[in-house]
Amino acid sequence: MADLSTFPITNKWPAKNPDIIQLYSLPTPNGVKISIALEELGLPYETHRVDFGANEQKSPEFESLNPNGRIPALIDPNGPDGKPIGLFESGAILYYLAEKTGKLIPGDAAGRYETLCWVMFQMGGVGPMFGQFGHFYKYAAEKVANNSYPMERYRDEAKRLLGVMEGRLKNRQWIMGDTYTIADIALFPWVRGVDVFYGGRDVIGFDDFPAVMDWLERCLARPASSRGIDVPAKE
Ligand SMILES: N[C@@H](CCC(=O)N[C@@H](CS)C(=O)NCC(=O)O)C(=O)O
């Protein structure tokens, strides 16, 4: 049995089965990227729900694994050289899982780097900008009731980014063409989130991006997406 005692996070969230991947998460766009990837890969994993209401993501135990105090974070008891490894930042976790299994990423070096470009596009662009849009459009709407600038700025940037995706997805089934990869898994929960979490479908103008919408439907229709999209479920 793997020994995870060097990871203080396991004191607060004990592992029932320390031999399988431990995922610390919530069903947010960043969180579900990892559960969806794990479902696609068929890797066994145990989930631990991090309660934002109790600010658990900023607890010393959580920050011992991710000093940035944000989900998702993960421990793989069977990391490089068979030793346990702790990881944070969803893009890095996705890349790790793809490298570990040789799946959800093209086999050739050029294809792998191109996939990484799109993962980084999500991490540096789509995630932060869509997130700020949601903040000003929904969560902090009252605070900026007299100033439409923040919402408009991030709305327009979100639209621009969707335009980039529209160009990429025209005549492609997936971001990398015929192969479903971690780039799709990084991006689609954020596009879905504009609608499901922020109610922003109309203000962003989803209808202006038909190729993105068709791709989103294809992503959501995958059985692994249904299994991973609400993980960890409420107890
Ligand atoms: N770049 C990070 C972002 C992670 C992130 O922002 N997670 C959010 C949930 S989607 C979070 O933990 N928020 C809690 C907080 O900010 O305190 C990643 O992709 O893993």
Q: What is the pLDDT along the chain (235 residues), one digit of tens a residue?
A: 999 999 999 999 999 999 999 999 999 999 999 999 999 999 999 999 999 999 999 999 999 999 999 999 999 999 999 999 999 999 999 999 999 999 999 999 999 999 999 999 999 999 999 999 999 999 999 999 999 999 999 999 999 999 999 999 999 999 999 999 999 999 999 999 999 999 999 999 999 999 999 999 999 999 999 999 999 998 7
CATH architecture of 9-103: 3-Layer(aba) Sandwich (3.40)
Phi and psi torsions of 180, nearest 5°: -80, 125
Nearest ligand 1 atom, CA 72: 20
Sign of the alpha-carbon dihedral angle for 85, 88, 94, 96: negative
CATH of domain 109-225: 1.20.1050.10
Is residue 70 lining ligand 1, measured as CB closer than 6 Å? yes
- CA 124 to CA 121: how far, in whole Å? 5
Cα distance between the two ends of the chain: 27
Q: Residue ranges per domain, the chain?
A: 9-103, 109-225
Is residue 25 lining ligand 1, measured as CB closer than 6 Å? no
Neighbours of 10 (CB within 10 A): 20
Is residue 33 lining ligand 1, measured as CB closer than 6 Å? no
| Residue 227 in tokens | 């299994």
Ligand 1 centre to CA of 89 (Å) is 8
Is residue 89 lining ligand 1, measured as CB closer than 6 Å? yes
The pLDDT score that the predictor gives to residue 181 is 99
The pLDDT score that the predictor gives to residue 234 is 85
Residue carrying structure tokens 């009731």: 145
Residue carrying structure tokens 């792998």: 112
| Nearest CA owner, ligand 1 atom 16 | 70
pTM, entire model = 0.98
